[in-house]
C-alpha cells in the first residue's frame, strides 16, 4: 500500500528574501546605468551636431568670400565664433587653407570647431575644395 505524506508549506526564510531583494536591486542598477550612458551619449551628439552646423555656416561664409577674392588668405588663429552662430560662446574656430595643385586653381578650405567638454578638448572638422572660376 502506498502512503502519501502531506508536507506543510514552509515559509520563505530570511536569507532567500535578502538574496531576492539584492538581485532585484542589481538589475535595477544595471538598467539605470545603461540609461545614463545612453543619455550622456545623446548629449555629446547634440554638441557635435551643433559644432558641425556652426562649421558649415562658417564654410558657407568663406565660399561667398572666395567668389570675389579667390586668392584671399584665410589662415587665421583660433578665434571665437560670432554670437549670431554661437550665442553661448562655447565654440572657437580655426580656418586653414592651402592650394591642392601647382597652378593654384584648386583650394582647400578647412574649418575646425573647438570646444571643451568634461572628457577634454574636442574638435569637429569640415573641409571643402574649391575650383577657381566656379
pLDDT of residue 80: 75
94 occurs within a structural domain = yes
pLDDT of residue 92: 86
Find the angle CA(52)-CA(105)-CA(82) to the nearest 5 degrees. Answer: 30
25 occurs within a structural domain = no
Tens-place pLDDT, residues 66-113: 777 777 766 666 777 877 777 777 888 888 888 877 787 888 888 888
Res 16 pLDDT > 80 = yes
Give the range of the structural domain holding residue 101, as residue numbers without chain letter: 43-131
What is the phi/psi pair of residue 84, to 5°? -65, -40
Contact between residue 24 and residue 30 where contact means Cβ atoms under 8 Å apart: no
pLDDT of residue 26: 92
- Looking at the 3D structure of the chain, how many domains does it have? 1
pLDDT of residue 9: 66
C-alpha cell at 66: 572666395
pLDDT-derived band at 8, boundaries 50, 70, 90: low
Res 134 pLDDT > 60 = no
Tens-place pLDDT, residues 17-67: 899 999 999 999 888 888 888 777 777 778 888 888 888 888 888 888 877
17 occurs within a structural domain = no
Collapsed DSSP state (helix, strand, coil) of residue 41: helix
CATH at residue 101: 3.10.450
38 occurs within a structural domain = no
Amino acid at each position: 500500500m502506498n502512503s502519501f505524506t502531506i508536507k506543510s508549506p514552509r515559509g520563505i526564510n530570511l536569507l532567500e528574501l535578502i538574496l531576492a531583494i539584492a538581485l532585484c536591486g542589481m538589475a535595477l542598477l544595471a538598467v539605470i546605468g545603461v540609461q545614463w550612458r545612453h543619455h550622456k551619449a545623446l548629449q555629446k551628439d547634440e554638441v557635435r551636431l551643433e559644432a558641425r552646423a556652426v562649421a558649415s555656416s562658417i564654410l558657407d561664409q568663406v565660399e561667398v568670400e572666395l567668389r570675389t577674392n579667390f586668392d584671399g588668405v584665410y589662415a587665421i588663429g583660433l578665434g571665437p565664433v560670432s554670437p549670431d552662430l554661437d550665442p553661448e560662446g562655447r565654440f572657437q574656430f580655426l580656418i586653414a587653407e592651402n592650394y591642392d595643385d601647382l597652378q593654384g586653381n584648386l583650394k582647400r578650405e578647412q574649418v575646425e570647431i573647438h570646444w571643451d567638454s568634461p572628457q577634454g578638448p574636442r574638435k569637429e572638422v569640415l573641409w571643402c575644395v574649391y575650383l577657381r572660376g566656379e
